[in-house]
Amino acid sequence: MKEKVIELVEVNKWYDKFHVLKDINLSVFAGEKVIICGPSGSGKSTLIRCVNRLEEHQQGSIVVRGITLSHNTKNVEKIRGDVGMVFQQFNLFPHLTILDNCTLAPTWVRKLPKKDAEQLAMEYLKKVKIEDQAKKFPGQLSGGQQQRAAIARALCMEPKIMLFDEPTSALDPEMIKEVLDVMIDLAKGGMTMIVVSHEMAFAKEVADRVIFMDEGRIVEEKETKEFFANPENERTKLFLSQILG
């Protein structure tokens, strides 16, 4: 039995009166790759944003690597150091070069010496194949390059878990592949990943499990092959038929 690294029990969340997450139960094991899909507004992004507490949940418990998420800021910061996140809009820091984007957290959060931080950053920039862009500013890069830089920035904290919030949705079609390739590499390297995405080809290739969400609930949760071969829920079927065409 593998180690449980994320456990959500009966999680509920409201935005004012709007009930975004309803009774979410989810466990993720070390090294597992989980894809979350579903129509927009179904709470997918909110769910993974709860995992590193960019959003607060109101009911239930979320335990990440043995630490229960609460108002304790120190715990939250510790978890955020272990959990990397990649956003739809990249969210690189526009006033810093790509290299500085990557070394910022290692230098100030992990307190690495500057030289080590830079070496680490270059290593990961090489891994996502943009080491030649290190001295440029985010605005000078294409969308695909920016997203890969954002992945490198997250990896520089050497996280144990990576969260991806629709990482390819803001990209032009020809750039999606370069980002997915990086993510596939990462998956093959054994990283624990939760990915909110509609890239079904990617899901088929790397995912251990696929989760379908609708209206704040986990509607269906299956192993990848099962999910695509025998979806049970009507809404899942409809969604898959629309998305796979």
Partner 1 sequence: MLINFIQWSKKSLFSNWWNSLITLFCIYLLFSIIPPFINWAILDATFSGKLKTDCTAGGACWVFISVWFEKLMYGFYPVEHIWRINLSFIIFIGTIGFSFFVREKYKLYILFFLIFIFPVIAFILIRGGFGLTIVETREWGGLALTFILAIFGIILSFPLGVLLALGRRSELPVIKYFCICFIETWRGIPLLTVLFAAAVMFPLLLPSGTFVDKLLRVAIGIAIFESAYVAEVVRGGLQSLPRGQYDAAKSIGMGYWQMNFFVVLPQAIKTVIPGITNTFIALLKDTPLIYLVGMAEILGIVNMAKANPYWLGMAVEGYVFAAIIFGVVSFILSSYSQKLEKKFSTENK
- Cα 102 to Cα 54, 95, 238: the distances in Å are 20, 13, 41
Two tokens at 47? 């769910």
* Residue 194 contacts residue 50 (beta carbons within 8 Å): no
Q: How far is the CB of 94 from partner 1 (least distance, A)?
A: 5
| Smaller CB separation from partner 1, 146 or 236 | 146
| Smaller CB separation from partner 1, 87 or 212 | 87
Residue 89 interacting with partner 1 (CB under 8 A): yes
What contacts 52, CB < 8 A, 6 or more positions away?
64, 79, 80, 83, 85, 163
One residue of 42, 52, 133, 192 binding partner 1 per CB under 8 A: 52
| Smaller CB separation from partner 1, 15 or 93 | 93
| Smaller CB separation from partner 1, 139 or 173 | 139
Residue 93 interacting with partner 1 (CB under 8 A): yes
Q: How far is the CB of 86 from partner 1 (least distance, A)?
A: 9
Residue 85 interacting with partner 1 (CB under 8 A): yes
Residue 44 interacting with partner 1 (CB under 8 A): no
Which residue in 176, 118, 186 sits closest to 151, CA to CA? 186
Q: What CA–CA distance (Å, rounded) separates 122 from 124?
A: 5
* Residue 59 contacts residue 113 (beta carbons within 8 Å): no
| Smaller CB separation from partner 1, 49 or 209 | 49
Q: What CA–CA distance (Å, rounded) separates 47 from 68?
A: 16
Beta carbons within 10 angstroms of residue 200's beta carbon: 18
* Residue 39 contacts residue 214 (beta carbons within 8 Å): yes
Q: How far is the CB of 168 from partner 1 (least distance, A)?
A: 16
Residue 113 interacting with partner 1 (CB under 8 A): no
Applying CB under 8 A, the span of 20-28, 31-39, 46-54, 209-217 interacting with partner 1 comes to 46-54
Applying CB under 8 A, the span of 29-37, 72-80, 182-190, 202-210 interacting with partner 1 comes to 72-80
